[in-house]
Amino acid sequence: MAIRILPDQLINQIKAGEVVERPSAVVKELVENSLDAGATRVEIEVEQGGLNLIRIRDNGSGIPREELPVALQRHATSKIQNMDDLERVGSLGFRGEALPSILSVSRLTLTSRVADASHGWQVSGAGAYENEEPKPAAHAVGTTVEACDLFYNTPARRKFMKAESTEFRHISQFINRIALCRFDAGFTLKHNQRRTLDLAPADSEPEREARVAQICGDDFVRNAIRIDEQRMGLSLQGWVGLPSFARTQADLQYLYVNGRAVRDKLLGHALRRAFADAMHSTHYPAFVLYLELDPVGVDVNVHPQKTEVRFRESARVHDFLFGAVHQLLRRQRPEPEQHHHAHFAESATNMSVQQPMRYATPSYSSPSYSSSGYSSQNFSARESASSVESLWAASNATTPSLQESAAEYPLGHALAQLHGVYILAQNNTGLILVDAHAAHERVLYEQFKQQLTHGGIPSQALLVPEQISLDEEAADALESRHEELRRYGLELDRAGPASIIVRAVPPLLAGQDIATLLRELSSDEDRRTNTTHLGEVLDAQHRIMADMACKAAIKANRRLTLPEMDGLLRDMERTELSGQCNHGRPTWVQVDMAELDRLFLRGR
Ligand SMILES: Nc1ncnc2c1ncn2[C@@H]1O[C@H](COP(=O)(O)OP(=O)(O)OP(=O)(O)O)[C@@H](O)[C@H]1O
Ligand SMILES: [Mg+2]
């Protein structure tokens, strides 16, 4: 075949394959046009998942009569004129490709009226614009675009469409996504004549929060922390879900760069890292985040649907995002008022005493729970009291007298221990329940980390050095890491081809099962893929310390005294991320007096 220039309509159809590959992409382009036109109300109506009809009506600035035919032409835009404009583009659109692409695969009608016109004007076409003159039409100031019979002339594409409900789900997800970032506009969505969403413009902070709650759920807002960080020309705002609010799917992750929803590997990585220390690696954090920077620092022209961006200084952006979220999570201290409330699932009125109580916390049967070595079967008889006692001796926790006001201590004072597992404590608002092992593990882990950054974890010589037999490969591995392990307070020498001798260990690990710990350390490589234990944590260092913390933490059935329990509560209050164990499970919950009263139908 000879080389020939393709006809315009075919070019547009090819482009449409990239820009508007499914109904939700058409909705996206049209809604973005409305927002670029300054609309404060956008009405979206679709039928049969958008395949039959997509109608978007807005109250934006409108298009003057003489520009209507131009709007349907390829590469026609009012948003940029030159390279400079493109480099600092602030509008959602800029390529002048959306309307001609949509027109090429549908029957399209564009009706619009500008403020100083007495009525509106309309142009239309099926597959292509036939240069007909605009016709007068009744319309308020603003624009309506109607696209019918999507992909009617590209049967191959039409065949790829999924069920109506799937296509509609994509549309509805897109509207949620844009509504979470354009609080200045109101949105309504109708599917097959049925209204599924109605959002008024949200101008105040409470209104914005209400919109976030409407889209992401009340639970998210209740379990999220506000973030507002500015540094070196970068700004990050929004809501970060607490690690204990982790999801099993990545379905609550909204990230915007300069008002544009993006999916970005680099930013995704920064966020995963920020949470890695506080969340089980099979879970996903929840967030609604707005990153702002000088438009010159971002290239938005890298993806046909503009869902990806490139950063001029990607390392700086990555580190800023990681740092801001990481710091925010670490700054969290117990605030019973705000978080970790236990909600009894049943309302008190229909709750029978025999019913088991349920908490709004992860299920205890989750596999990760027992993997921490904290189940009664795993209870080791070798477990000695020394680790706990030395902790309390070492920590400068001044055990407060019970007369001291509970107000000083968010986690209150210990009352008792339940089945050797939970600590019961009392604070101003009611009852606090603490998972002693999980909490202690976090406290130790953070202590180890502190010590490591301040010169290394102290070590204590063993009176009787312990000889441990391993396979030869493991002994080699440990020997080669001899220097590194010294920093963790572990001193060892090779004793033979398949054995090593341990001479000193951190005081907290005295009397613990060192052999198992070392075997685990020696197979560190294999464990990189084992996600049950801090799998995604940044580096081996943290895994070692997490292992040590788990080994040294209080085991089940270890009886604690009240001062020991209070000591742990005080340590938790001081410790970063103490609300979750290393696997992201909550370490404590609050049960308010009001909640208890409801349980007993008190005060009715
Ligand atoms: N709802 C609307 N209200 C006012 N003007 C609009 C509207 N929709 C489109 N326009 C005008 O039509 C032009 C073409 O729209 P189109 O979506 O094809 O391109 P674009 O938005 O400029 O760029 P992109 O292809 O990146 O979306 C726009 O530049 C704008 O001037
Ligand atoms: Mg556009």
Tens of pLDDT, residue by residue over 130-176, are: 989 999 999 999 999 999 999 999 888 888 888 899 999 999 999 99
Count other C-beta atoms under 10 Å from residue 604's C-beta.
Answer: 8
Q: Looking at the CA of 63, name the nearest ligand.
A: 1
pLDDT at 278: 79
pLDDT at 342: 59
Domain spans, the chain: 8-200, 206-331, 338-361+371-460+505-512+542-604
Distance of CA 213 to the CA centre of its chain: 15
pLDDT at 372: 31
Select from 335, 217, 332 the least CA-distant residue to 274.
332
CA atoms of 580 and 585, how far apart (whole Å)? 5
pLDDT at 343: 56
Atom of ligand 1 nearest to the CA of 110: 8
Atom of ligand 1 nearest to the CA of 143: 1
Atom of ligand 1 nearest to the CA of 96: 19
CA atoms of 15 and 20, how far apart (whole Å)? 8
Which residues sit with their C-beta closer than 6 Å to ligand 1? 29, 33-34, 37, 58, 60-63, 71, 76-79, 93-99, 143
Q: Where do we find the tokens 């991320």?
A: 577
For the domain covering 206-331, report its CATH number.
Answer: 3.30.230.10
pLDDT at 334: 65
Count other C-beta atoms under 10 Å from residue 159's C-beta.
Answer: 8
pLDDT at 324: 94
**How far is CA 463 from each of CA 466, 478, 561, rounded to the nearest angstrom?**
9, 22, 28
Select from 102, 157, 94 the least CA-distant residue to 129.
102
Residues with CB under 5 A from ligand 2 (ion): 33, 93, 98
Q: Where do we find the tokens 């208890």?
A: 596
pLDDT at 398: 43
Q: Which residues of the chain have pLDDT under 70?
A: 333-407, 523-541, 604
* Helix or strand (DSSP H, E) at 122: strand 120-126
pLDDT at 108: 97
CA atoms of 493 and 503, how far apart (whole Å)? 8
Phi-psi region of 233 (alpha: psi -120 to 50; beta: other; left: phi over 0): left
Q: Give the distance (Å) from ligand 1 centre to CA of residue 252.
A: 30
Q: Looking at the CA of 71, name the nearest ligand.
A: 1
The structure tokens listed for 234 are 């970068």
Atom 19 of ligand 1, residue of closest alpha carbon: 96
Q: Tell me if residue 528 falls in helix, strand or coil.
A: coil
Topology classification of domain 338-361+371-460+505-512+542-604: formyl-coa transferase, domain 3 (3.30.1540)
Q: Give the distance (Å) from ligand 1 centre to CA of residue 77.
A: 6
CA atoms of 32 and 92, how far apart (whole Å)? 6
- Which of 12, 20, 33, 182 has the most ligand 1 atoms within 8 A of CB, as the residue to mutate? 33
Select from 17, 37, 8 the least CA-distant residue to 145.
37
For the domain covering 8-200, report its CATH number.
Answer: 3.30.565.10
